[in-house]
Amino acid sequence: MIPKIVHYCWFGGNEMPDKVKRCMDSWHENLPDYQFIEWNEKNFDVYSSAYVKEAYENKKYAFVSDVARAQALKEYGGIYLDTDVMVFQSFDKILDHRCVFGFEYGNWIATSFMACEKNHPALDIFVSSYEGAHFMNADGTMNTTTNVQRLTHILEGRGLKRNNEKQEIQDGIVIYPIEYFSPYDYVNCIMEKTDNSICAHLFFVSWMSKKEQTKKVVKGLISKTLGKNVLEKIRKNKEG
């Protein structure tokens, strides 16, 4: 059974923006009987491995968080949430499972939400995938392989079919469709929330460059004013 613990990460020491605080307000509103644990420099060793040390020293805190969240779930069990996740209803209905993940767009497995029991085998493999790894490549570039890619490939090895359908694979891992935990279409900047939606990753993408963040805002305005189909046509014309 998955314990009622919510883990989240905040590295770098900066004050949380108001939009992050609004997301976290939704956690406390919908999860009043859950324990919340923030992982930061005070309780996570940012020099615990070469990968974490290199990411931290380059101020790539999202990649530090990738390792911290995996270790937290392995050691304690519970639910991990990115700080830009909005919660709509309680997670109680999924707690009887051993391990829960959800699809996001592109049929990848999201890491903005993850839930599992303590010491689940999938998290052992996830944590181990960082052992011996480096964030900085030999040529001085950064290893920007995402944790989404890592986790998806790990689960494919355990029977995952990338079809956005609910499925149970090895070791009691249950995968839910997009609408449950990732109903925000970050490609077209459209929220596609349903009655089944428990939470949504809003993709504040603080790790993006200012140019990329500006493009995201423009895409959102186009989607809201002209519609998703218009944005898709613009993208196809550009690609053509």
**Would you place residue 44 in the very low, low, confident or very high pLDDT band (cuts 50, 70, 90)?**
very high
Domain ranges in the chain?
5-207, 208-240
Q: List, for residues 185-234, the tens digit of each pLDDT value.
A: 988 889 999 999 999 999 985 544 455 545 544 544 454 555 555 545 55
- 236 has a pLDDT exceeding 70: no
| For the chain, percent of residues with pLDDT exceeding 70 | 85
**Would you place residue 69 in the very low, low, confident or very high pLDDT band (cuts 50, 70, 90)?**
very high
CATH topology of domain 5-207: Spore Coat Polysaccharide Biosynthesis Protein SpsA; Chain A (3.90.550)
Q: List, for residues 78-128, the tens digit of each pLDDT value.
A: 999 999 999 999 999 999 999 999 999 999 999 999 999 999 999 999 999
Over the chain, what HEC string results?
CCCCEEEEECCCCCCCCHHHHHHHHHHHHHCCCCEEEEECCCCCCCCCCHHHHHHHHCCCHHHHHHHHHHHHHHHHCEEEECCCEEECCCCHHHCCCCEEEEEECCCEECCCEEEECCCCHHHHHHHHCCCCCCCECCCCCECCCCHHHHHHHHHHCCCCCCCCCCEEEHHHEEEECHHHHCCEECCCCEECCCCCCCEEECCCCCCCCHHHHHHHHHHHHHHHHHCHHHHHHHHHHHHC
Of residues 50 and 229, the one with the higher pLDDT is 50
The mean pLDDT of the chain is: 90
**Would you place residue 11 in the very low, low, confident or very high pLDDT band (cuts 50, 70, 90)?**
very high
- 68 has a pLDDT exceeding 50: yes
- 134 has a pLDDT exceeding 90: yes
What is the pTM (predicted TM-score) of this model?
0.87
Given this model, what pLDDT does residue 186 score?
85
Given this model, what pLDDT does residue 17 score?
95
Given this model, what pLDDT does residue 14 score?
95
| For the chain, percent of residues with pLDDT exceeding 90 | 82
